[in-house]
Structure formats: C-alpha cells, structure tokens
Structure 1
Amino acid sequence: MTPKQIERAKKKIADIKRTLSSEKRKFGCYDDSRGLRYLPTKYFIQLGDYTDGLTYLKWFDKNFPDDAGFPEFLFEQTIIFFKCGKLNIAEQKAFQTFCSNPYWFDKFFGRHISPHDMWHSSSLTRPEYTDALDYSSSQPDLSDFAVWLDSFSSTDDFINRSNKYVDIYKRLKTETDKEMRHYLVRQSFQLEQGE
C-alpha cells in the first residue's frame, strides 16, 4: 500500500469508530443498521495490522455478542485470528464462514464452484454471492493463511462436519414437517457453534 492508501484506511477506521461512538452517546446503544461495524476488519487486513484488528474484534464481541455477521466478515475474522496465532478461534470462524456460505473457500482457492442441491436460507449463502470475496489464496500476504486454511479444511473433522451441515440443508430443501424442520435448524445451529 502507498502512504496515501495507508492513511486513507486508517482514516476510514477512525471515522467508523467515531460514528459508532456518536450513536452510542446519542441513543444509549448502537444503532448500526448500515452495518458500519463490519467494515474495519477489511481495513485492518489491508494494513496488515492484525493486533489492532484483534482488539477491534474483542470490542465487537463485547458490544454485539449475538451478531453472526456476514460471510466476508466471518472470513476476515478467520484471517485476523489466524495471523494473531489464535488458531482454535480461527478454526471456529473458518467453519462458521463455511456455514455462512459453503462456496466461499472454493472461491478463495480459485476452485470450480459446484452448487449443492440444498436449501439456501438467504441470498448470502448462494454460489453467486462469492463475487463479494475480496481475497485470494494467491495474495502474497495471505500465503501462510492459505496453506493453513487448505490444511484445516482438508481435515477429517472439518469434512465430516461440513458434509453433515450440507446434508441438513439438503433435507431442509424438501422437508415439510414443521417439527422436523425445527429440529434440523437446531441441529445446524449446534453444529455451527461447535456444540
């Protein structure tokens, strides 16, 4: 990054923090319907400032404990936790990224994307949403992360859990019984949370 780009990224982070703080003072809580809270991770990664990125994620978890985020935000969390040596949390976030969009890793690695014949709970989980991914395994600053993610996503545990997750959503595509659908959704949530 050029010095100007670095300065711009730092300014964007500061502006977002200032806006969120202002909302908290004004409303007594965060009213972030615009989703500004998801943006700083991208800038921390661009800056290679993973330590401040980790500090931001701790703040985020404290202030938005029930916020699942979007696929790109979960993926960015995975990168930050990996780069800070928090591998257990990086593994959790990697699996949550997969659950949020099962095509994300294929896009990151430049692999062919084969759509699963499954129920997609939102447009964010569809194969075409991977166009929002701004990262690639070919980026030099992510080469160590790419090696780790490829290795992690090839483990028996990850493969078994991801297959089970996809199977649940294949069943949800055709399941009409309300109680069974509730049971399957609860199973998928527990799987995603690592329970």
Structure 2
Amino acid sequence: MLIFPETEKKLKARISSYRSALNKEKKEYHFISDGSGKRYVLFSLYLVLNDLKKSESYFNWYQEEFPDDAGEPIQTLCWSLGLLRMNKPVEARYKLAELMLANLYLIPYVLGQPLEQEYDIWHASNFHNLDYIYDLPEEVNNAITDNEREWMGEAYGSLEFRRVRKRYIEIYHELLTTKELAERTILLNESRGLLRSV
C-alpha cells in the first residue's frame, strides 16, 4: 500500500526522488525495467500535487519511454483526470474508457456505487479483480473533485460506455470456458477493439 507524503514539500521531494531513480536506471542500463512500479505511482503523486504543467511533461515522458506499457488501473484513473484538468476532454474520456475495461469495479467504487460481488468472468490479472479497488490511495480519492466525479458518472452511464462494458463482460464470461486457442484469440481481439466505439 502506497504511503503518501504528508506535505506538498514532501510530495515534491518524493516525485523528484522517483524521477531521479528512473532516469538513473535509464542512464546505467539504457532502459528502464522499474520493477517497483514507480512509473505508475508518479501518476497518483502528480494528481494529488495538481501541477498540470509538470503532469503533462511527465505524461509525455512516460509515453516516450513506455510506448507499449499496459499500465495499471489507478494510473489510468489519474491519467484520465489529469487530462481532464488540462482541458483535454476527448483524451480524458478515452482514458476513462480504458480504465473501465482495465478494472470493471474501480469507477463504480470512486462514484460510490454499490459493489456486491465480482462478475462471473475471466480476470486476466490481479489488476482486474474486485479487491484491487482497495489499493486506491485515500489521498487520490480525496483529490477527485465533485465535478470530476460528475463527469465520470456521465461518461460511465453513457450509451457508448454501457454498450462497450456489456460486450466486454460477455466476452470475458465466454473466456471462462473457452479453451481452444483460436477461439480465445478471436474473443481477445474483439475485446481489444471495443474502445474504438467510445
């Protein structure tokens, strides 16, 4: 569980420390493996700091350094809200859709909607599980404004999001019992294309 710095000064120091560690790794090894996931945590730290200029600079750096990185849901939540704060609503909405499929439970949790049990679907990793929502730092949840929650709720309840979510759940329910590699590949390819309709 991430322990957040208590003051803005300590928050900035943590960001600087993490950025330095990532840059040092790149300098020494010519690539960044980042086994501890600092690259993801930085999204949370920047959201709480709410420095849009530095956030945007970090987002751009991350995309250049990790173009094929699958990411993780809390990172994607913070990225979406960061883009919204930067007045980039189209990009923010797309990231929110990515978040919805990265973890079906996190958006409802942030919106205060009831979560009773996991869907009867194949969960590809622990990032997809219901109990992942408890990894959301309280500081990140508290940094989300009422207007941002309203925006999330409108997008999440929209026809496009509902349609994508419904089909995604259907696909991953089928993957529970689909063993044939060719059939699984077809389903997974369809699931990867769902965001094109958002």
Cα deviation 1:153-172 (Å, max 9, x = unaligned): 11111110111111110111
Alignment match, 2:134: 131
Do the aligned partners of 2:47 and 2:140 also contact (CA within 8 Å) in 1?
no
2:185 maps to 1:161 = no
Which of 22, 25, 42 pairs up with 1:23? 25
> CA distance change for structure 1 residues 62 and 137 in 2, over 3 Å: closer, same or farther?
closer
Alignment match, 1:99: 101
Residue identity (%):
22
Which sections of structure 1, spanning at least 5 residues, go unmatched? none
2:147 maps to 1:117 = no
Alignment of 1:30-41 (within 5 A): 30-41=32-43
RMSD: 2.1
> CA distance change for structure 1 residues 126 and 139 in 2, over 3 Å: closer, same or farther?
same
3-state secondary structure, aligned to 1:29: coil
Cα distance, 1:128 vs structure 2:
1.2
Do the aligned partners of 1:109 and 1:137 also contact (CA within 8 Å) in 2?
no
CA distance in 2 between partners of 1:136 and 1:89 (Å): 24
Cα distance, 1:149 vs structure 2:
0.6
Which sections of structure 2, spanning at least 5 residues, go unmatched? 1-5
Alignment match, 2:194: 191
Cα distance, 1:30 vs structure 2:
1.4
Cα deviation 1:52-100 (Å, max 9, x = unaligned): 1121111100110001211101111011011111111111111111111
Deviates more, 1:133-142 or 1:64-73: 133-142
TM-score scaled by length of structure 1: 0.91
CA distance in 1 between partners of 2:69 and 2:159 (Å): 29
Alignment of 1:45-64 (within 5 A): 45-64=47-66
> CA distance change for structure 1 residues 14 and 137 in 2, over 3 Å: closer, same or farther?
closer
TM-score scaled by length of structure 2: 0.90
> CA distance change for structure 1 residues 29 and 193 in 2, over 3 Å: closer, same or farther?
farther
> CA distance change for structure 1 residues 11 and 138 in 2, over 3 Å: closer, same or farther?
closer
